[in-house]
């Protein structure tokens, strides 16, 4: 459960943290216009037929479309469950079970983690990564080493949000059905508790709600900020970008077409 006023404060807090991270990333890009490569969803396609197409690709909006149904479900659920027809939100075992599923999807999503990794790389003044590979590494290791630790290093508020929302134990408990609701009906009990890395024995419904909302609001405000940053670009302005991957090095030209809502690009000759 969360009170209406507390929800509003949390929403503002998350939005502020996301905005701070984007502004920091913009100011600390390593190469001029790396931020544009980020907004253009630039990537190097290692599997493309290079006799017909360039492996240097931009505007990977297909990923957004493929992910849309999951995001729409998340938004619809939050808007229904936290519409505050009364002063407080209402919890149930049914709603918490759905929230565990949504929470797991947020922190398991390749799409989400790659987005946060790219934002963290910009904040850390790293070269733009054209082909991020999560591979078979655990999500915990990837999130900690490539996202959380970087935001913490630069003292960004988004670190606290992730640190207070993400815990691999919660994902594992849901994925392996290692949780139940207490007999009192007011707590989520985690059966994979070991007192070490899995250090959460149980969460009250209120504690769970905060973790869940920080995760969902973080994803939502990231998406909103990313989209708004694109629309702030000057129409058809050409940005010169540095392109380096796997020993190849080129200079590219990228622009954004506001009318058709898409990026265009090519190799500088």
Q: Do 116 and 17 meet the contact criterion of CB atoms below 8 Å apart? A: no
User: In whole angstroms, what is the distance from residue 150 CA to residue 124 CA?
Assistant: 7
Q: Residue 2 has what pLDDT?
A: 92
In terms of DSSP bridges, do strands 239-245 and 248-257 run parallel, antiparallel, or are they unpaired? Answer: antiparallel
Per-residue pLDDT of the chain (269 residues; tens, 9 = 90+): 899 999 999 999 999 999 999 999 999 999 999 999 999 999 999 989 988 889 999 987 777 777 888 888 999 999 999 998 777 787 888 999 999 999 999 999 999 999 999 999 999 999 999 999 897 778 999 999 999 999 999 999 999 999 999 999 999 999 999 999 998 878 999 999 999 999 999 999 999 999 999 999 999 999 999 999 999 999 999 999 999 999 999 999 999 999 999 999 999 98
What is the model's pTM? 0.95
The answer to whether 82 and 6 have CB atoms below 8 angstroms apart is no
Residue 84's pLDDT is what? 87
CA distance 32 to 38: 12
What is residue 140's predicted lDDT score, i.e. its pLDDT?
Answer: 94
């Amino acid at each position: 459960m969360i009170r209406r006023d507390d929800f509003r404060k949390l929403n503002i807090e998350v939005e502020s943290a996301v905005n701070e991270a984007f502004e920091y990333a913009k100011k600390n890009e390593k190469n001029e216009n790396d931020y544009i490569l980020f907004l253009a969803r630039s990537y190097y396609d290692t599997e493309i037929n290079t006799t017909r197409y360039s492996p240097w690709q931009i505007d990977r909006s297909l990923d957004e479309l493929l992910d849309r149904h999951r995001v729409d479900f998340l938004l619809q659920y939050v808007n229904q469950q936290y519409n505050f027809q009364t002063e407080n939100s209402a919890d149930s075992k049914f709603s918490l079970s759905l929230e565990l599923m949504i929470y797991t999807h947020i922190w398991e999503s390749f799409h989400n983690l790659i987005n946060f990794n790219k934002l963290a790389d910009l904040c850390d003044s790293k070269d733009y990564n054209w082909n991020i590979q999560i591979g078979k590494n655990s999500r915990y290791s990837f999130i900690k080493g490539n996202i959380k630790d970087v935001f913490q290093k630069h003292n960004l508020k988004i670190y606290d949000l992730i640190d207070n929302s993400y815990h691999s134990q919660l994902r594992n408990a849901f994925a392996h059905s290692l949780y139940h609701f207490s007999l009192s009906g007011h707590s989520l009990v985690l059966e994979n508790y070991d007192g070490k890395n899995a250090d959460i024995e149980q969460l009250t419904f209120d504690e769970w709600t905060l973790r869940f909302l920080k995760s969902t609001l973080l994803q939502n405000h990231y998406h909103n900020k990313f989209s708004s940053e694109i629309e702030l670009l000057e129409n058809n302005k050409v940005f010169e970008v540095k392109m380096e991957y796997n020993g190849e090095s080129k200079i590219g030209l990228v622009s954004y077409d506001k009318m058709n809502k898409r990026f265009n690009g090519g190799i500088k000759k």
